Structure formats: C-alpha cells, structure tokens
Amino acid sequence: MTTNARKPESDILAAMHETVSGLHRIGLVDQATMRSFDVMCLTTVESLSPAEIRALREREQVSQPVFARYLNVRKDAVSKWERGEKRPDGPSLKLLNLVRAKGLKAIA
Amino acid sequence: MTTNARKPESDILAAMHETVSGLHRIGLVDQATMRSFDVMCLTTVESLSPAEIRALREREQVSQPVFARYLNVRKDAVSKWERGEKRPDGPSLKLLNLVRAKGLKAIA
DNA sequence: CTATTATGTAGCTCTTAGAGCTATAGAAAT
DNA sequence: ATTTCTATAGCTCTAAGAGCTACATAATAG
C-alpha cells in the first residue's frame, strides 16, 4: 500500500481488525503494532458539498426532519447544510460519510 | 410495541426497513406511513457520563488519539469528555451510542 | 372545496462544542 | 539514557448547532 486506499472495504477491515486484535489479545501482536494498525485502518473522512448532502438524503428517501433525527441534529441543521449556509465537520461529517458508504441503516 | 424498545435489534430493524421501503417502492405503502415508520425506527440517543465514555473506549482497547480519529474529533475533545470538562451531544453523542451498541468496527 | 399536515426556507439570537495551540509529566518501549 | 506515546492542563477563538418564529408550498384528508 502506498498512501491511503480510496474505498476501504469495511467488511474486510472489520475482519482484519477482529483478527489482529485477537492476535493482540493472545500476545502475538504488541501494543505499538496494534496502535498503528488501528490508525492505518481508519477511513478518510471527506467533506461533502451541499449538493452531495442533498443527493445523499434523497438517495435514502427521507425528509430533512427524518434525516436529521438519524444524525441526531436538528432539522434546521440539515437544511442549512443543503443550502450551504453551514458546513458540517467533525462528528457530523463522519456520520454523513458513514451514511454515504453504508446507507442509513448503518447508523440506525 | 408500546413505546420504544430498549435495545433495538438493528439487524431486524434493517431488514424491516428494507422490506417496508420495498413495499413503498411498489406502491403498497404510502409516503405518510413510510415517514412515520422511519421515525418510529430511530434508536434513542442516550447521553453518556464521563466514566461511561472512558469505559467504552477502554472496552474498545484504543487510546484517546485513536478513539478520536474514529469519531473524527480531536484528541483533546475525547480527553475533555472523559474528565467531564465537555459534554458530547448531537452528532458526537450519536457516534458514541453507535460504538456502544455495535463496536468501533461499525463506524470504521 | 376547504382544512389539515408536513415539508423546506428564512431570519434571527445564543450557547458551547470542538478546533487548535503549547506545555507538562508519566509510562512504556528501544 | 532517550525517544515515543499518552493523558492533562490551560488558554483563545471560530462557527456549528440549538432553539425559536414565521411563511410558502404541496400533498393529503375530510
């Protein structure tokens, strides 16, 4: 691997994590390795444009209020994201990335 | 079902959602029903105490920096949560609830 | 047709989470 | 002995999100 993979296959990642933390548990992998493994496994969180956010929500066939409840934000926030008045970042951006990658069911 | 279930089985929820939105797609379920179904399905997001957050992270066997990267927040934020200096809410609380219910792999 | 209900936008104010930084001390590993 | 990572601590500051009211539209019900 050179830099970071584009679309990390979360299933594979999950399985790898299971495996490696198992190895860690029985002492075959030290903490340092485990740490860097964890960091290595993290998916990149990309920022989303207003249009992408709206498209994402529409793909999931839900209204702004419902979408907002999934993400545990107020409906106003979603509206503002979609109109470019506010830019989601940090935890909210992470959730949006999760929904994009795995669908709303992943965060139900 | 009376009010809201304590530990909603996300697998079942996901399957139900699949089914119902399928019914919606072919016209057997109207939008109104679909809407209330969606809202009904949402899991309750509980607030977590500093101790619970720390216990959660330790259960997942990761350091504050690594935990923070999973949630897409700075390491300082996690430290402050665990010492009660800041209280996570909204999207960050949602993520913490996700981790508690499904483990770190669910948000990888 | 009218009444109702839900959506999405708009315009506000306000709190505070989280960003971003530096510095420190202890533990752990080399 | 020294590097490396962790966790605290103490700051400042930006802006996300909360929380509210009001309004236009569209769809639905009655």
Q: Is the pLDDT of residue B107 over 50?
A: yes
- Cα Rg, chain A, nearest whole Å: 17
pTM, to two decimals: 0.80
> For the domain bounded by B50-107, which CATH number is listed?
1.10.260.40
Region(s) of chain A under CATH 1.10.260.40 = 50-107
A23–B contact, CB cutoff 8 A:
no
**C-alpha neighbours within 13 Å on the C-beta side of residue B52:** 12
A3–B contact, CB cutoff 8 A:
no
Residues A75/B57, Cβ–Cβ less than 8 Å? no
Sort out which chain A residues have CB atoms less than 8 A from B33's CB and list them. Answer: none
CA A76 to C1' C4, whole Å? 23
Mean pLDDT by runs of 10 across the 108 residues of chain A is 29 51 60 61 88 97 95 97 97 98 95
Distance from CA of B1 to the nearest CA of A (A): 18
Residues in chain A: 108
Return the pLDDT at A26: 58
